[in-house]
Every structure is written in structure tokens, then in C-alpha cells.
Structure 1
Amino acid sequence: MEQGKLIVERPYKKVYRLDKSIVKIFDRTHPKSHVFNEALKMARVEETGLAIPKLQKVEHVDGQWAIFIEYKEGKTLEEMMRVDPANMDKYMEDFVDLQLEIHGKEAYLLENGRDKLAREIQSTKELDATTRYDLLTRLESMPRHSKLCHGDFNPSNVIVGKNGKLTAIDWAHAVTGNGGADAAMTYLLFALEDQEMAKLYMKCYCRKSDTAMQYVQQWLPLVAAAQLGKKGALKKEFLMNWIDIMDYQ
């Protein structure tokens, strides 16, 4: 592989930018099935007709599995929001419009988001059996949808092109399910960094989608509980606060 520029480094992968590609190179210990599953998710999302960077190929690079993805020119929406806070309301409007465009697609062959949440809640060791039971009972009562959900929709995963067009990237967590759950995850990602931004997002999403704020809030403890067993930016104390303050009886 030609020498590229390292743009992201995680414990299990490194992401490089080449001339016309973004290349994710996974650690040798990362399961091959996970690599191919991520590539398959991208292919499924492409089939919905949504304009996303195209999957180019999956191959071995120096004994490591790598996914090659079309490179999209532009800046992340996170960068735009940071350097131009005066236009925050406009950026948030565009951000929510893109999320609702995604939710307007269906991808039946993707993993079911409800099943994934149930599995993650049931398997977490951070919660006792009674709490898990209460959460799973609430999950079972929530409406069943088949909307395309990004699963990690935040401004760092949105590219703004030179023409102003927004493109969602990084579909590793995509599922088919309920848009309210996807919105709850986005809210938590904002809340981790900035409560005011989280409030702005929630108001904008609920207004544009004609969704009751209370409905998205009902998903918060479920999504927070599902994140407890993962190694990521969402810390245990932060997640436990969202589980503890909600009445999920």
C-alpha cells in the first residue's frame, strides 16, 4: 500500500488518507468477521440509495485486514461548528436534516437495533439483574421500526463538502430500528461534551421530526445501559447518571 497520512488511531485500528481513499487498517487481533461485517454494513447502506462514501475493497495489507473507502473532500461538521459558532443554529438544522434523511431510508438486512440493545444490556456486568430486567421490560414496550439508524451520528462523522453538501461517514454501528434510539445516542454524544449543545440538538430534532421530547428521553437509559460494556468515549459514571435519573418503571 502506498504511504498515506495517519488521521485516526484507535487501540484496534489506524485510519489513513490516501489520494482517493480512506483506509482503515485493523489490528491483527481484531476478528476478521468484524472487519467483513463493517464492510457489509457499508454495502447495505449504499443499497438504500443514500449518498455515502463508496466501499471500494477489503484486502490484506501486510498481514492485517483493511477496508478501503472512497475519500470525500471537505471538513467535518465538528470543525465547522468549532471555528464558526455564530452559525451554530444553522449547522444544527443541517445536521438534523441529514439524520432525518437517513431515518427516511429502510435497510431490512442490517442488524436489528432492538436485538442489539437487548443483547448489550443483558450482557453488561455493570448493572444488577433487577436493573437489567427493568430496562429490558421498557425496551420491549418501545415501538418497533425499521428505519436506517447510523448508531454513532455526531458532527465528527459528517463531512461538509465545498458545495455545502453534508455526507455521513463511518457506518460501523449502523442498524435498522427506531429513530428515537438513534437520536438518544446522538444526544448522549453531545451531552458528554456540552450540555447546551445537547439541549439545542434535542429541541431541533424533536421539532423537525415532530417527536415528543419525552419519547426520545425514554430511550436514554436504554442506550446508556447498552454502552456500559463498551470501550469508548462514553464513561461509566456519565452513563450511570443517565440510567439512575430516569424512571423506567
Structure 2
Amino acid sequence: MNSKLGVKLGEGGCAEVYAWEGESKIIKLAKPNTIIEALQAELHHSYIAWACGLAVPQPFDMQEVEERWGIVFERVYGDSIMKRFVDTTQERSRHKQLLHVSEDYLHARVTAQMLYQIHSHAVPNMPSQRDNIKHDIQRAQYLSEAEKARVIELMDQIPTKQQLCHGDPNPGNIILRENDAIMIDWNNASVGNPEADLAEYILMIQYAILPVNVPQQAQEALEATREESIRMFIEHYGKLSGIRDADIEPWFVVVAARKLAADGISEEEKGLLVQEIRRRLHSTPL
């Protein structure tokens, strides 16, 4: 065992996270489903985000541990928005406190602020958002080839922007640390249209189906607060940026089609996305 490797801190679909060299760093060790080129890309994206002065963990280098490659990052202490949401809803349930839908349980405003800061940067040497999306749509199942071609055609009609985008702005990727919010997991970052990130977040909140091991109180709270969280997110981001609902609208069908290639969402959620895609394609003039 590598003497620098500490206790296991967490695990996702593509990596396991361990303490590294004590308490100030972590290493994100790839699972077999992640190729070394993907790690190299994530490290590159993280360097760029760090150089922009964004609130991200400082990236260091890649290390090999027992024939597995990983990325070493600054260790960030805090809770993800998703963990804070689950803990809050459980605590309220224990004390028999009612949910007030107007409260920002999912920290939608914090997410909007964070994304606006990211989108305020234009950077070179980053992947093309549209190339990434096209690749994901083309390899996704569930849609016919004609449906995929139509979605890509609709995306090609949207004017192109060249702003830094995160690509996966879900509540598990923002860490709350005292009064700060830290964005992690930059493997899907690209240069393109901020509206795609916004559509990604909205669709995630609208259709997310939480894992079965998540407490029932959190499941019920998500159902009760979805629409208000989305409204707060759009309103706050719009105040910062001037972007309106109509600017995000064309991206919903595109991002929904892209999400069908994701490993981390359930078949049930993908079924809901397919319904949303077909509804939008049917209502969009040829």
C-alpha cells in the first residue's frame, strides 16, 4: 500500500476518493471504466478553472497507486449541496417541522451565483461544448437516428458562444464550506453556451429520481420543492446575467438528449427524458 494513501473518503461512478499525504490533500483514483486520457483532461480543465481564480480545489498532479491513476487535489472540507439537503430534510422531519417551499433548500441561488462566475470567463484550449454534446447524442440509446439528427440540427441553429461551462452542475458537485461554495468535478468542462449548463441544472432538478438509499423525507422534499427551486435558480441567474427563460428554452431538448448517454442516472429518469424530447420535437416546426 502506498504510504501517502489515507482513508477512503467517498466514491462516485468513475472514481474513489482517498486522503493523500495527511489531511490537506485528496487523491481521486479512477475506476476501470475511466481511461487515463479522461483524467488528463480533467486535470487540464481543473488547472484552467484554478487559473481563472474560480472557487475550485487546487489541482496538483497525477499519481499512480497500485496500477491505478488518480489526480491529487486540495482537500475541501464541507458538505455537498445534496448532502446538506438530505440532512436538512431529515432534521426537519425529526422535529416535525413543516417544509416551507419558499425556502431555498437546494441552494439554487448559490448554484446560480457559482455558474455565473464560471460563465464570466472565456478561455482557450478547452474542448468544444457542441462537439461533446454531438458525440454524446450520437452514442446515446433510446432515440432513433432521425430523432438524433433532428436534435443536432436544432442545436446547430442556436448562435454559438465561447464561454467557460462546467458541464455537470448538479447539487453533488458544489461543496458548501462556511460562507463559500466550491465547484468540483471539472471532467465535462468545455467552451460554449452558458444556457446549456442552465438547461442541464433545470432538467436535473425537474426529473431527478433519487437513489433508493436516500431517506424518504428527502424524496418527498424534492418533490415538494422542485418547481420553486427551478424558479429561484432562473430568477437569480437572470438578474446577474440578463439571460431569460426564452434563451434557455432551445437547449432543453439538446441537453435532454445528451443526458441519455450518462451512466449516473436511472432508466426511469431516462424514460422521462425521452418523453420530454419527443414532446418538444413534436411541437417544434421542421
Question: Is the structural similarity TM-score above 0.5?
Answer: yes
Counterparts of 2:141 and 2:104 in 1: how far apart (Å)? Answer: 39
Q: CA deviation at 1:180?
A: 0.4
CA change 1:51–1:192 in 2 (3 A) is same
CA apart distance, 1:190: 1.2
Q: Could you report, residue by residue, the CA deviation over 1:43-90 in whole angstroms, capped at 9, with x for unpaired residues? A: 122222323111111011011001111012222233344417764179
Deviation at 1:11, TM superposition (A): 4.7
Query: Please, which of 162, 177, 182 is the counterpart of residue 167 of structure 1?
Result: 182
Matched residues in 2 for 1:198 and 1:122: separation? Answer: 28
> Structure 1 residue 248: deviation in Å?
3.6
Matched, 1:60 2:64: yes
- Residue 182, structure 1, aligned to residue 197, structure 2: yes
Structure 2 match to 1:142: 158
Equivalent residue of 1:68, what SS? strand
Contact 2:81–2:106 (8 Å) recurs in 1? no
Mean CA deviation greater in 39-48 or 76-85: 76-85
- Give yes or no for the alignment of 1:227 onto 2:259: yes
Retained in 2: the 8 A contact 1:203–1:213? no
Distance 2:274 2:188 in 1: 22
Aligned mates of 2:265, 2:206 — CA distance in 1: 12
Within a 5 Å distance, the mapping from 1:76-95 to structure 2 comes to: 76-82=80-86, 83=88, 87-88=103-104, 91-95=107-111
- Aligned with 2:271 (options 223, 237, 240): 237
- Other structure's SS at 2:141 match: coil
Q: Alpha-carbon deviation of 1:28? A: 4.1
Instruction: Note the aligned Cα RMSD (angstroms).
Output: 2.3
C-alpha distance 190-78 of structure 1, shift in aligned 2 (>3 A): same
Taking the TM superposition and a 5 Å limit, the aligned residue runs for 1:196-207 are: 196=227, 197-207=229-239
Cα drift, residue 229 of structure 1: 2.2
User: Hey, what does 1:33 align to over in structure 2?
Assistant: 37
Alpha-carbon contact 2:109-2:232 (below 8 Å) kept: no
TM-score, structure 1 normalization: 0.89
Pair 148,29 (structure 1): closer, same or farther in 2 beyond 3 Å: closer
Could you tell me whether the CA contact under 8 Å between 2:85 and 2:106 is conserved in 1?
A: no
Larger Rg belongs to:
2
State the 1:109 CA deviation: 1.2
Residues 11, 119 of structure 1: alpha-carbon distance in 2 compared, 3 angstrom cutoff:
closer
SS across alignment from 1:78: helix
Ranked by relative contact order (alpha carbons within 8 Å, sequence separation 6 or more), the top structure is 2
Question: Structure 1 residue 148: deviation in Å?
Answer: 0.9
Deviation string, structure 1 residues 184-233 (Cα, Å, up to 9, x no partner): 00111211334323343234333443222122121011001112122112
Separation of aligned partners in 1, 2:64 and 2:258: 32
Q: Which moved more, 1:23-32 or 1:237-246?
A: 23-32
SS in 1 for 2:28: strand
Contact 1:135–1:248 (Cα < 8 Å) also in 2? no
TM-score (norm 2): 0.78
Shift of 1:141: 0.8
**Corresponding pairs, count:** 248
Structure 2 partner of 1:192: 207
Give the percent of matched residue pairs that are identical in Structure 1 and Structure 2.
Answer: 22
Query: For 1:11-50, what aligned pairs fall within 5 Å after superposition?
Result: 11-18=13-20, 19-28=23-32, 30-50=34-54
Query: Quick one: structure 1 residues 41 and 127, their matched pair in 2 at CA, closer, same or farther if it must change by over 3 Å?
Result: same
**Aligned counterpart, 1:6:** 8
Task: Please state whether the residue corresponding to 1:226 is helix, strand or coil.
Answer: helix
Unaligned runs of 5+ in 1: none
Question: Are the aligned partners of 1:48 and 1:106 in contact in 2 as well (CA < 8 Å)?
Answer: no
CA contact (8 A) 2:27 2:73 kept: yes
Gaps of 5+ in 2: 90-98, 209-221
